[in-house]
Chain A
Amino acid sequence: MKIQSEQNSREKEIENLKEYKYGFSTDIENIKAPKGLNEEVIKFISNIKKEPKWMLDFRLKAFERFKQLKEPAWQKPKYPKIDYQDLYYYSAPKSMDDKPKSLDELDPKLLETYKKLGIPLQEQARLNGIAVDAVFDSVSVATTFKDELTKHGIIFCPISEAIQNHPELVKKYLGSVIPTTDHFFATLNSAVFTDGSFAYIPEGVRCPMELSTYFRINASNTGQFERTLIIADKGSYVSYLEGCTAPMRDENQLHAANVELIALDDAEIKYSTVQNWYPGDKDGKGGIYNFVTKRGLCKGKNSKISWTQVETGSAITWKYPSCILKGDNSIGEFYSIAITNNHQKADTGTKMIHLGKNTKSKIISKGISAGVSDMTYRGLVDISSKADNSNNYTQCDSLLMSNKCGAHTVPYIKNKNSQSNIAHEATTSKISEEQLHYCQQRGLSAEEAVGLIVNGFCKEVLQQLPMEFAVEAQKLVGISLEGSVG
């Protein structure tokens, strides 16, 4: 879609608003790595990022392992075989070749793209005080509010920069939660990851603003493999937001990111995601395969990691943000809303692995399926024999909006400790006629009534989101279900 005139583009935008709002693509000259996956490509990526040798070794080690791994097939949503040799593993806007020193040097087209997405990168224009790291295809293009953060000693930068400037931190923690020997997609990511965000919160610091990364896939035929690493040192606190969009394309694009969180003693990390990748059209053509590995390690005592996710996009969502509760008294939380419409499929949930004493976890999952979509909650709660006095509470509710969709719940519950308690509840139902009737009687249209009921259904999770995100998410819930009533 080329932007010919302003008039034209506005019309298009209005059109987009009705369907997928972020479906445009931007014409920017790209540098791509040669197509395919081999050692040369990995060396190319490492080289272009001017990475030290240990980083290249890390990648090659992962690639060695990757060659031995088989693609998993146990998941519920099946997809056509991906040809990993037919993908570009690196794509970057050409103007990023020599990194701009400040925002003023950024390609104006890039700025425009982000403006269209509603993510102003111009610091002076910002009022709500969120530091943004924007990732465009394979590279991070801009990070805002750097000065303010530096004042507190917080490091928030693209991970490629962190590899250069803070190798001691990256070396120590990268791969410590998701090792290079992990599963298929995580290992692939370890070998070819291109960029992503890095955040380090020093001891005792409460991060004064929300940190945020905005991911955008633009180039076609590109897999996006970003890697996020967040370290909260003793007694620190950080809230991190992640948003994602992609242009509308007919082919399916692979997104296989790794996110690692590490919370040391008394630290807390709150990680929120509003995932709105392109879900494909009404007939299920195109869309993103969102195969992401997210894992948090509560390494220290009294640490806490909380995942909140609103999953409305992607053709297939397949991810399980997990918590490893290693430190005594640590807490893991997982709040999720997953909405599938049309031909979307989701297989998502969480893993709570209790290793330390007095650890607690809570899982609230709300699944909504409409159209001919399919939704699965899959989760694991594992209390090991050493995790005395641990507790888990799980609640997963599903709402069915049509008689052609599916909603499934597959929890795995393992208890090896007699002093620990696990409680699990799940329900599946539809919006009752009475509820609808009641709302309509009070003057709401059928669609508004459904919106209201669905928002009520999701409220427990929406409440967990930071305010700015909550508003966006609430709107998104409405848009995602549009046309699914009746």
Chain B
Amino acid sequence: MKEQLQKDFENIIKNLSLSQRDIEIKKFYLDSFINKGFPSRKEEDWKFSDLNQIIKKNIGELSFFTDYTSTNKIDTSVYVDGLEHNKIVFINGRIEKIDFNYEKKNQIEIIDQSETIDRFTNKNSLCDLNNAFTNKSFKIVVKKGYQLEKPLIIYHTTNSNIWSKNINLRLNFELNKDSSLRLIDLFNDTSEKNFLNIFYNFDIKENSILKNYKLDSFKNKNIKYSYNNIDQDKNSISETFILSSGSDFFKSEINSNLKGEYSAAFVNGMFSLNKDKHHEIRTIINHLTENTKSYQLIKSVLEDSSRAVYQGKIFVNPEAQKTDGYQLSKAILLDETTEFNAKPELEIYADDVKCSHGSASGSLNENSIFYLMTRGLNRKEAKELLINGFLLDVIEKITDREIKNLIKNMIGLKE
């Protein structure tokens, strides 16, 4: 893999006009990645999902270079109907379109940051990989006091032109004071056996609201890793919803730093998996100051050799008195071949706090099925009804009505 990495790296550098310093920084990260390799189960954070093995098994040899000199044609059929929205379109990792037509001019600024590499405080090697190979990166700044009229949908599209590739994406968002953004990440792949490595950084200033919905609902054979770092100032709110269902492997990490008083982070997630899929959600909520709040709810329905992992951590540092942290994960295992692993973790250094977590996993309640069957439903209907109700619980946590309906339609859940 080492030769491949070095060769592809040379190719990337050739195509980018970078300063010597930037090249050196990239080179540093490349060496760091070569040193560490893909994360394996030896690392605590990857204990339940050995990415190294998964890539070996599902993809084999990866290549890290994609030619971005020519444009791809946008297939407009992937666009979401019935919801007016702004767009950013990625095709095979290349930004093809940025469109904020619904918004006032000068309120949103898009800065090309390809030349300055900002560091993530993430010790995992995928961050190094991303730093070394990111092609273009943009920063999207929402100006002070501006609240976007329409949601922004980022289309992560891949097509059959790529095979066994590693694609690295990076986006930065800055929400200035009193602003708000609704962001949907929509994954739509017709490609196979690629590894997508996506890093987002959010800087949410005072009184701002971020709502991020990650929707991986279309069946595909790719492997994905997504990392969100969210820094929150005073009175800010972040809401993250993850629909984890379509890809062969998908690990989403949310790292939320509640830096300002009265800031709050909400993470809700849902696994709906079948056929050998292996998904993971890992959250770290860092309560760094007084009076911060976090709430997490993760629900899973697993069948047919699928496997879901939830690792959630609530960290409370000594200054963060009056913290309110809550975490709940529930899983339904529908058949013998499925597996649910959880590691809900509390790390608390302040005494005046209210922190709790709960985790439950098991089968559908036979009594409930029996009850519904006595009311005239057949077994299959009864099961479906119970599963729908189980999952609706987490969908109902979505605070945006329009998007809630969109997601409900997408997964075919009826009330």
Contacts and interface: CB of A to CB of B under 8 A. Distances in A.
Contacts of A402: 351
Interface string A393-412: 00000101111111111111
B349 A406 contact: yes
Contact of B362 (A398, A405, A415, A416): A415
B44 interface: yes
B222 interface: no
Interface stretch (B115-123, B201-209, B337-345, B367-375): B337-345
B318 A411 contact: no
A402 B321 CA distance: 12
Nearest to A399: B351
Contacts of A403: 318, 321, 350-352
B348 A408 contact: yes
Given A403-B351, A427-B356, A411 B362 contact: no
A430 B322 CA distance: 11
Nearest to B366: A419
Contacts of B360: 421-424
A427 B348 CA distance: 11
Contact of A413 (B336, B351, B361): B361
Contacts, number: 114
B85 to A, nearest CB: 39
B366 to A, nearest CB: 10
A408 B359 contact: no
Contacts of B340: 413-415
Contacts of B350: 400, 403
A414 B344 contact: no
A385 B342 CA distance: 16
A416 B339 contact: yes
Interface stretch (B55-63, B157-165, B237-245, B327-335): B327-335
A398 B341 contact: no
B348 A400 contact: yes
Contact of A429 (B342, B345, B347, B353): B353
A311 to B, nearest CB: 19
Contacts of A98: none
B48 to A, nearest CB: 8
A411 to B, nearest CB: 6
B346 interface: yes
B397 interface: no
A394 B182 CA distance: 38
A425 interface: yes
B2 interface: no
A426 interface: yes
Interface of A: prevailing SS = strand
Contacts of A420: 362-363
Contacts of A430: 351-353
Interface residues of A, number: 34
A418 B306 CA distance: 12
B346 A419 contact: no
B318 A415 contact: no
Nearest to B335: A418
Given A408-B348, A409-B345, A418-B363, A425 B358 contact: yes
Classify chain B: how many residues form its interface, as a range.
35 or more
Given A385-B336, A404-B318, A413-B343, A398 B348 contact: yes
B346 A408 contact: yes
Nearest to A403: B351
A428 interface: yes
Contact of A412 (B338, B343, B349, B356): B343
B348 A407 contact: yes
Given A412-B343, A418-B333, A74 B44 contact: yes
Nearest to A407: B348
B136 interface: no
B346 A415 contact: no
Interface string A295-306: 000000000000
B358 A415 contact: no
Given A415-B331, A424-B344, A401 B359 contact: no
A56 B354 CA distance: 54
B308 to A, nearest CB: 10
A406 B348 contact: yes
A236 B349 CA distance: 45
A53 B283 CA distance: 54
Given A400-B348, A416-B339, A417-B336, A411 B363 contact: no
A417 B333 contact: yes
B347 A408 contact: yes
Contacts of B342: 411-413, 424
A427 B343 contact: no
A409 B347 CA distance: 6
A300 to B, nearest CB: 26
B139 interface: no
B355 interface: yes
Contacts of B349: 405-406
Nearest to A394: B359
Nearest to B347: A408
A428 B318 contact: no
Given A74-B44, A385-B336, A418-B333, A409 B363 contact: no
Nearest to A418: B333
A428 B343 contact: no
A416 B336 CA distance: 7
B286 to A, nearest CB: 14
Contact of A424 (B351, B355, B359): B359
A165 to B, nearest CB: 45
Nearest to A375: B348
B144 interface: no
Contacts of B363: 418-421
Given A400-B353, A402-B351, A410-B343, 7 more contacts: A403-B351, A403-B352, A409-B357, A411-B344, A415-B340, A418-B362, A418-B363
Which 10 residue pairs spanning A and B have beta carbons closest together?
A: A421-B362, A418-B333, A400-B351, A424-B359, A409-B346, A413-B342, A427-B356, A415-B361, A428-B355, A430-B351
Interface of B: 44, 318, 321, 331, 333-363
12 contacts: A398-B348, A403-B350, A409-B344, A410-B345, A415-B341, A416-B338, A418-B335, A422-B359, A422-B360, A424-B357, A424-B358, A428-B355
